[in-house]
Amino acid sequence: MALLEVRDLKTHFHTDDGVVRAVDGVSFSVEKGKTLAIVGESGSGKSVTCLSVMGLNPKRGTDVSGEALFNGRDLLKLSGEELRNIRGAEMSMIFQDPMTSLNPVHTIGRQLREAVHVHEKVPKQQAQARALEMLKAVGIPRAETRTDDYPHQFSGGMRQRVMIAMALINNPDLLIADEPTTALDVTTQAQIISLMSRLQRDFGSAIILITHDLGVVAETADEVMVMYAGRAVEQAPYKGLFYQPHHPYTWGLMDSMPNLAGDETDLTPIPGTPPSLLRPPKGCKFNPRCRFVMDVCRETEPELKPVPGDANHLERCHLEEAVKQAEIERITTERLGAVS
Amino acid sequence: MSANGSRGEPLLVVEDMVKHFPITRGIVFQKEIGRVRAVDGVSFTLNKGETLGVVGESGCGKSTMARCVMRLLETTSGTITFDGRDITHLNGRELMPIRRELMMVFQDPYASLNPRKRVGFIIGEALEVHKIGTPAEQKRRAQELLEIVGLNPEHYNRFPHEFSGGQRQRIGVARALAVRPKLIVCDEPVSALDVSVQAQILNLLKSLQRDFDLTYIFISHDLNVVRYISDKVAVMYLGRIVEQTTREQLYAAPKHPYTGALLSAVPDVNPEVARSRKTIVLEGDVPNPVNPPAACRFHPRCPRFVDGTCNVIDPPLEEKSPNHLAACHFPLESWPLSDLRRPAEQTTSP
């Protein structure tokens, strides 16, 4: 059984202007020790999906429905107290911005000890020892001398390491990382990615990685879910997603990424901007930006269905398979370079 | 990418530019107790119609360098020659005509537009400052600019909050274009944007360069983006340029080990390549520019470090092959490499 099984998750926010369907019927599962990457533009609902699973959305004016089975319990039905016991212990989260997600007025050591004390009654020395051990595990040099430092004394990459140490200190089964490397330089990003995969091997945690960087996905993900306007438009194991991408939005993402392997003079952006979730377009939500739009796309929204010949590869598009294959051929040769 | 005939003449020549920020103690009698060497001897020449990409990690001084070129910061020493004129020490009034020619696009499209002003005003303000045209002409020009950058001219009276991130960055570009500048400094203009929108802005910048014969300094930490837009690339590390050459040479045959490490850290979108290749992970962070390491500033993190040379003799930025400058005693022999160490060392140790 999967570690986390989310079925038909819907998160709707009631605002003065109407109902925002930020997440509208998303299903996915994460296996132990595996990485699921959720990809999409800002506003596609990828962060809200994870916040809903963690029970971190504001209560007022928010409707969350569906199921999120984690270790056999439905997270969406738990009380605040029960959720607090799970968060930080069995599952934890790394936020995007390491500059603002640490408390500036407490030392790093104190914040790490707090993460232990919330879940376990242990003496201070023991918590301190755990904090030190984690700081060493994430590669903070001279960790002993740095536990009494404040966050401002650390660089961005170091702070992100501290965040990872804090998230892993109680050895969670599931780690949700919301754009953990977006704010960082490439060299630091490479350090953090290799750190996360090493820790995943050592601790056996499952990871949900939220990102818009397909390069990071190619390097780390086992499963990929591409989201657009609150819906999953394509879901597949990583090989299927990169070598047989089936949805025009996934093509658009691949075409708009400048890439060291691709031709440097050719970028095709996705025209326009993501739709307002207050008044989403009729039919397929991607139709106003889609190069392959047909009449049927403007009328009915396609179902999420398996692609021919691969039951694990789901997509949501009306386009005929023959048309897609031609485009898949072009994209994989142009964007990925040599394909085996 | 410009087709204009004036291309090739130097527009901007920067020689040995230094910018140190003093660290002081005391309130009345401020005593200097140290200095942040943000930019420490940078020289380059930028020709008309070209794009110079500047890459480097945060804290390497690339933004400070740009701000000095813009004359937004006073340089400590060195000269900046713009369009044949030394602008290093021009004062406020003498600078006014120069300011028209030098414009900037900022990183954060949310913070760089005044939320209380209408878009038309934001774009037209520079025209007013430089007293170009009557108010009616200024309005027409602002609307024309909105159209040039791909926005609806009828949105002239809207406020910035009514636009998305990508649209705001288009407004930022329109504002920079208003007074027909020669040089535009783009300081991480796309790093706050989603990939799909990022490609739109990059294509816009490229087509504007063709249409208006613009010269760009394009600052970014994203090597993919820099490769897409630049003609020449300078790699900065701790206030210095460590490698500078054409785009083709930099990406095909980097010489400096730091450039090699940066290139190897860029994720590949082909999962098989991404999972089989070896990333050269640099240990540690960029050192503190208050006390930069002696001699070669990269030596504490360098996989090719040789004791007695790299920490004693400062390598000059010199030609390693035609038009290819690098500051390294032991430049890379070939590319791609999976191990940056010197060939001699690779055979002796496992």
For B162-190, what is the mean pLDDT?
Answer: 92
Please give the mean pLDDT across all residues of chain A: 89
What whole-number distance in Å separates Cα of residue A64 and Cα of residue A245? 30
Report pLDDT digits (tens) over A50-98: 999 999 888 888 999 999 999 889 999 999 899 999 998 899 998 877 7
B220 and B316 in a common domain: yes
pLDDT of residue B88: 92
Neighbours of B85 (CB within 10 A): 12
Chain A: closest CA distance from residue B115 (Å) = 21
Are B223 and A260 an interchain contact pair (Cβ–Cβ within 8 Å)?
yes
- The answer to whether B250 touches B259, Cβ cutoff 8 Å, is yes
Looking at the fold, whether B80 and B120 belong to one and the same domain comes out as: no
> Quick one: B186 and B173 in the same domain?
no
In-domain check, residue B114:
yes
Q: Do A257 and B195 touch (CB under 8 A)?
A: yes
Percent of chain B with pLDDT over 70: 97
Are A225 and A194 in contact by the 8 Å Cβ rule? The answer is: no
Instruction: Give the tens place of pLDDT for each residue, B300-319.
Output: 999 889 999 999 999 999 99
B224 and B269 belong to one structural domain: yes
Inter-chain CB proximity B267 and A215 less than 8 Å: yes
The vertex-A206 CA angle with A204 and A211, nearest 5°, equals 135
Determine contact, residues B172/B109, Cβ cutoff 8 Å: yes
- Whether B267 sits inside 8 A of A216 (CB atoms) is yes
Looking at the fold, whether B173 and B192 belong to one and the same domain comes out as: no
| Statement to judge: residues B19 and B163 lie in one domain | no
Contact B195 A214 (CB under 8 A): yes
Give the Cα separation of B67 and B70 in Å (integer). 5
* Kind and range of the H or E run holding A30: strand A18-30
CA atoms within 13 A on the CB side of B246: 6
Cβ–Cβ < 8 Å for B35, B29: no
Structural domains of chain A ordered from first start: 4-225 (3.40.50.300), 245-336 (no CATH)
> Which pTM does this prediction carry?
0.86
Q: What contacts B141, CB < 8 A, 6 or more positions away?
A: B124, B127, B133, B178
| Cβ atoms of A244 and A305 closer than 8 Å | no
Q: Which residue of B has its CA nearest to A42?
A: B194
Provide the pLDDT for residue A158. 84
Please state the φ and ψ torsions of residue B204, each to the nearest 5 degrees.
-60, -45
Q: What is the pLDDT of residues A218-269, one digit of tens each?
A: 999 999 999 999 999 999 999 999 999 999 999 999 888 887 765 555 788 8
Are B176 and B313 found together in one domain?
no
Tokens of B105: 């696009």
pLDDT recorded at residue A265: 57
Bond from prior residue into B336 cis (ω within 30 degrees of 0):
yes
pLDDT band at B31 (very low <50, low <70, confident <90, very high): confident
CB atoms within 10 A of CB A51: 20
Degrees to nearest 5, angle at CA B17 with B11 and B19:
130
The distance of Cα B86 from the centroid of its chain, to the nearest Å, equals 21
| CB-nearest partner of A185 from B57, B198, B268 | B57
Residue B150 domain-assigned (yes or no): yes
> Pick from B180, B200, B217: which residue ends a domain?
B180
Whether B143 and B50 map to the same domain: the answer is no
The answer to whether the CB atoms of B270 and A157 lie below 8 A apart is no
pLDDT at A168: 87
Q: In the numeric block, which tokens belong to residue A156?
A: 């961005």
Checking if the pLDDT of B280 tops 80, the result is no
Burial of A308: CB neighbours in 10 Å, binned 0-12, 13-18, 19+:
exposed
Per-residue pLDDT for A339 more than 50? no
Residues B161 and B227 in one domain: no
User: Closest residue of B to A258, CA-based?
Assistant: B224
Minimal Cβ distance to B164: which of A212, A252, A273: A273
Q: Residue window 300-329, chain B: list those with CB within 8 Å of chain A.
A: none
Segment B5-31 mean pLDDT: 85
Rounded CA separation A214/A83 (Å): 32
| B350 pLDDT higher than 70 | no
The domain that holds B68 is classified in CATH as 3.40.50.300
Mean pLDDT of A36-48: 90
Beta carbons of B230 and B247 less than 8 angstroms apart: yes
Domain assignment present for residue B334? The answer is: yes
Instruction: Give the side-chain half-sphere CA count within 13 A for A215.
Output: 23
Q: What is the DSSP string of B13-66?
A: EEEEEEEEEEEEE-SSS-EEEEEEEEEEEEEEEEETT-EEEEE--TTSSHHHHH
Residue B2 included in any domain? no
Identify the bridge partners of residue B232 per DSSP, sorted by sequence position: B52, B246
- Is B164 a domain residue? yes
Band (pLDDT 50/70/90 cuts) for residue A156 is: confident
pLDDT classification of B34: cutoffs 50, 70, 90: confident
B291 has pLDDT over 80? yes
Chain B neighbors of A261, CB-CB under 8 A: 268-270, 273
Q: How many domains does chain B have?
A: 2
Task: Write out the H or E segment, with its range, that includes residue A156.
Answer: helix A156-168
Same domain for B190 and B82? yes
Q: Which among A41, A213, A261 has CB closest to B196?
A: A41
Q: Which of A99, A187, A253 is the mutation pick for testing B, counting most B CBs within 10 A?
A: A187
Residues A293-303 have a mean pLDDT of: 94
B240, part of any domain:
yes
Chain B's closest residue to A272, CA to CA, is B197
Please indicate if any CB of chain A lies within 8 Å of the CB of B338: no
Model pLDDT for residues B259-279, shown as the tens digit of each residue: 999 988 888 888 888 888 777
pLDDT digits (tens, 9 = 90+) for B320-344: 999 999 999 999 988 878 778 888 7
Contact predicate A234/A316, CB 8 Å: yes
Considering only the beta carbons, identify the residue of A194, A216, A338 that sits closest to B281: A194
CA distance A173 to chain B (A): 24
Does pLDDT of B4 surpass 70? no
B328 and B186 belong to one structural domain: yes
Name the helix (H) or strand (E) containing A64. strand A62-70
Distance of CA A135 to the CA centre of its chain: 24
Residue B347 has pLDDT above 70, yes or no: no
Query: B193 in helix, strand or coil?
Result: coil
pLDDT of residue A338: 52
Asked if the structure places residue B4 within a domain, the reply is no
Pair B86, B193 in one domain: yes
Predicted confidence band of residue B7 (pLDDT cuts 50, 70, 90):
low
What pLDDT, on a 0 to 100 scale, did the predictor assign at position B275?
84
Name which of A61-70, A109-118, B286-295, B333-342 the model is least confident about.
Answer: B333-342
Final residue of a structural domain among B125, B151, B180: B180
Q: Is B277 helix (H, G, I), strand (E, B) or coil?
A: coil
Q: How far apart are CA A284 and CA B96, in angstroms?
A: 53
> Is some CB atom of chain A closer than 8 A to the CB atom of B237?
no
Mean of the per-residue pLDDT values for chain B? 89
- Whether residue A237 contacts residue A310, with contact meaning beta carbons closer than 8 Å, is answered with no
B1 part of a folded domain: no
pLDDT > 90? residue A340: no
Final residue before a domain boundary, out of B130, B148, B180: B180
Cα separation, A164 vs B168, whole angstroms: 33
CB contacts < 8 Å between A and B, how many? Answer: 138
Range of the domain at B125: 109-180
